[in-house]
Amino acid sequence: MSTFKKITEADITHFKSILNDSVITSDLELYNNDWMNKYKGNSSVVLRPKTTEQVSQVMKYCFKENIAVVPQGGNTGLVGGSVPVNDEVILSTQLMNNIRDFDHVSGILNADAGCILETLDNWLQERGYIMPLDLGAKGSCHIGGNVATNAGGIRLLRYGSLHGTVLSLEVVLPDGTIMQLGKPLRKDNTGYDLKQLFIGSEGTLGIITGVSILTPPKPQSVTVALFGLDSYEKVLEAFKASKKNLGEIMSAFEFFDQPSLDLVKKHLGLRDPFEGQSPFYCLIETQGMNKEHDDQKIEKLIENLMENEIVSDGVLAMDQSQQTHFWKIREGIPEACAKEGGMYKYDLSVPVSQLYEVVLNMRQHLREKGLYHPEKEAPITNVVGFGHVGDGNLHLNILSTGRTKELEEAIEPYVYELTRSYEGSISAEHGLGLMKAPYLEYSKDIEFINYMKMIKKVFDPKGILNPYKYLPQ
């Protein structure tokens, strides 16, 4: 099917003339596979430019020669967006990892796309600032990849999405043109905000080589509390009360259900901080500038939640190690689910009020199909829900004894139809990649998709960047 040029020795020689020793042609396992071992490509060459100019030269050549390219950052994605489908050349930003500059007054950071998120965050913390995003993969994901996939994570509730915090991008277009999209300024109303198209474009329009981002001041105080609740309605009430009581210092409001906690206890051996059981749990975090004030606010919230019987149980972390413990429970859920056996993972956006209906509906649906029974043995062993309530983002994990065609067909496209019925999104934060491209129509209508195709054509007329993905073929 591929209409792209197959790489020859002459191409490799040319790449070496641009990049010297930064061309890899053997032991490409780590680059050809995603970390879940779910997606596997067959590229024969990885290019690791060190400068934007080198990226430009590589792309100029690939454009002329009609060579397909997949840009790769930390390769931590969940939808197969960063590994080749066939034999596309892999262009890795691994060696582009310089911090370019930082403005201590405004908090504006300029960095190479290949900087690792955690490295940037540590660097900033020493200077009294933090990165405005935080996610599980922070130890390996690149800021360029974060921007390309519009990464969300656990602090979006507080600091907003990358569409608000990214101020400008340096990109290399498929034909090798280096373009500055915007400026490292908070306000700039001169023309279409083209950088926004690249945020979340998953490497299909150009290669992000530099990122300028607004970073918030480092908080001076953190509190974390865990609550047990009797119903999802109570979770919503707790969310409203938290917004009111904590206001500006609320930095995370996460929830998970009882099966999630059971799995974490079973597979990760984490201690349950509660005596009894509750059908729902929520984790609330504050980050602020004044410990005394923040402690008072969270205590007042706890009082309020207890008095009004919104929560049935609650624990406030007494020190940092307890905070870490509470976060481990929440963040350990995906890992614990994976240890249970087979897994079908979905990352959905649904209006907050109806978020958990999706879990209940899916359980019912699978029960009716005879594939799931809470008390009997069945191929589906569990349907668990957790996620970022504050963002209306549900992570729905369907656990099974193994992955079969029958199970998959029982779940998909039903899960996407269900999401559409709530006017939701079939990908809240993970993106489309290879996995969800065929299902795009469940979240976007045909006119929208046609305009996406026209935009793709404007920037990548030959379609050489990250082919076969993102857009329905």
CA angle in degrees (0–180, nearest 5) for 371-372-374: 160
Q: Which stretch binds a copy of itself (CB under 8 A): 195-203, 330-338, 357-365, 407-415?
A: 195-203
Question: Binder to a copy of itself among 29, 126, 275, 445 (CB under 8 A)?
Answer: 445
Q: Does 458 bind a copy of itself (CB under 8 A)?
A: yes
- Using CB under 8 A, which of 13, 40, 128, 266 touches a copy of itself? 128
Looking at 17, 185, 324, 373, which residue binds a copy of itself (CB under 8 A)? Answer: 185
The distance of closest approach from Cβ of residue 293 to a copy of itself in the complex, given in angstroms and rounded to an integer, is 4
Count of residues interacting with a copy of itself (CB under 8 A) = 92
**Rounded distance, CA 260 to CA 263, Å?**
5
Contacting a copy of itself within 384-413 (CB under 8 A) = 388, 390-393
- Residue 114 lies near a copy of itself (rule: CB under 8 A): no
Per-residue buried b or exposed e for 216-240, using 16+ beta carbons within 10 Å of the residue's own CB: beebeebbbbbbbbeebebbbbbbe
Which tokens belong to 8?
Answer: 């020859």
Q: Is the CB of 410 or the CB of 452 nearer to a copy of itself?
A: 452
Judged by CB under 8 A, does residue 291 bind a copy of itself? Answer: no
We find the least distance from the C-beta atom of residue 428 to a copy of itself, in angstroms, to be: 4
Q: Which of 223, 327, 217 is nearest to 285 (CA)?
A: 223
Given the complex with a copy of itself, which of 360 and 458 has the nearer CB atom? 458
| Window 132 to 171, contacts with a copy of itself (CB under 8 A) | 149-150, 152, 156, 160-161, 163-165
Report the site for a copy of itself in 232-271 (rule: CB under 8 A).
236, 239-240, 243-249
Stretch 56-95 residues interacting with a copy of itself (CB under 8 A): none
The answer to whether 436 contacts a copy of itself (rule: CB under 8 A) is yes
Residue 464: CB minimum distance to a copy of itself, A = 18
Within 8 A by CB and 6+ apart from 385, the residues are 256, 257, 260, 355, 356, 358, 359, 394, 395, 396, 397
Q: How far is the CB of 54 from a copy of itself (least distance, A)?
A: 19
Paired sense of beta strands 166-172 and 250-257, if any: unpaired
* Residue 376 binds a copy of itself (CB under 8 A): no
220-239 residues near a copy of itself, rule: CB under 8 A: 220, 236, 239
Considering the complex, state which of residue 379 and residue 390 has its C-beta at the smaller distance from a copy of itself: 390
Give whichever of 112 and 429 is closer to a copy of itself, judged by the CB atom.
429
Report CA torsion sign: 82, 6, 10, 460.
Answer: negative
**CB-wise, 25 or 221, nearer to a copy of itself?**
221
* DSSP one-letter code for 88: P
DSSP 105-136: TTTEEEEETT-BHHHHHHHHHTTTB--S---T
Q: Which of 9, 10, 191, 377 binds a copy of itself (CB under 8 A)?
A: 191
Binding of a copy of itself by 424 (CB under 8 A)? yes
Stretch near a copy of itself under the rule CB under 8 A, chosen from 15-23, 58-66, 287-295, 335-343 = 287-295
Residue keyed to tokens 């290669």: 207
Q: Which of 289, 373, 404, 417 binds a copy of itself (CB under 8 A)?
A: 289
Of 182 and 259, CB closest to a copy of itself: 182
Residue 345 to residue 331: CA distance in whole angstroms:
15
Site for a copy of itself in 325-344 (CB under 8 A): none
Q: Does 303 bind a copy of itself (CB under 8 A)?
A: no
Beta pairing class for 89-92 and 99-103: unpaired
Q: How far is CA 337 from CA 152, 154, 323, in A?
A: 21, 19, 22
Candidates 102-110, 135-143, 270-278, 317-325 — which segment interacts with a copy of itself by CB under 8 A? 102-110
Question: How many other C-beta atoms can be found within 10 angstroms of the C-beta atom of residue 371?
Answer: 18
29 forms part of the interface with a copy of itself (CB under 8 A):
no
- Using CA atoms, how far residue 399 sits from 337, 371, 409, in Å, is 7, 11, 15
- Select 97 or 204, whichever has its Cβ closest to a copy of itself: 204
Q: Quick one: which of 109, 111, 115, 197 contacts a copy of itself (CB under 8 A)? A: 197
β-partners of residue 387 are 255, 394
According to CB under 8 A, which one of 352, 357, 367, 412 is a site residue for a copy of itself? 352
Q: Is 318 in the site for a copy of itself (CB under 8 A)?
A: no
Task: List the 380-388 sheet strands across, edge first.
Answer: 313-316, 221-229, 280-288, 250-257, 380-388, 393-400, 342-349
Residue 467 per-residue DSSP state: T
Burial bucket for residue 21 (CB in 10 Å: 0-12, 13-18, 19+):
exposed
- β-pairing, 207-214 with 221-229? unpaired
Spatial contact of 143 and 156, defined as CB atoms under 8 Å apart:
no
- 196 sits near a copy of itself (criterion: CB under 8 A): yes
Q: Which is nearer to a copy of itself, 180 or 308 (CB)?
A: 180
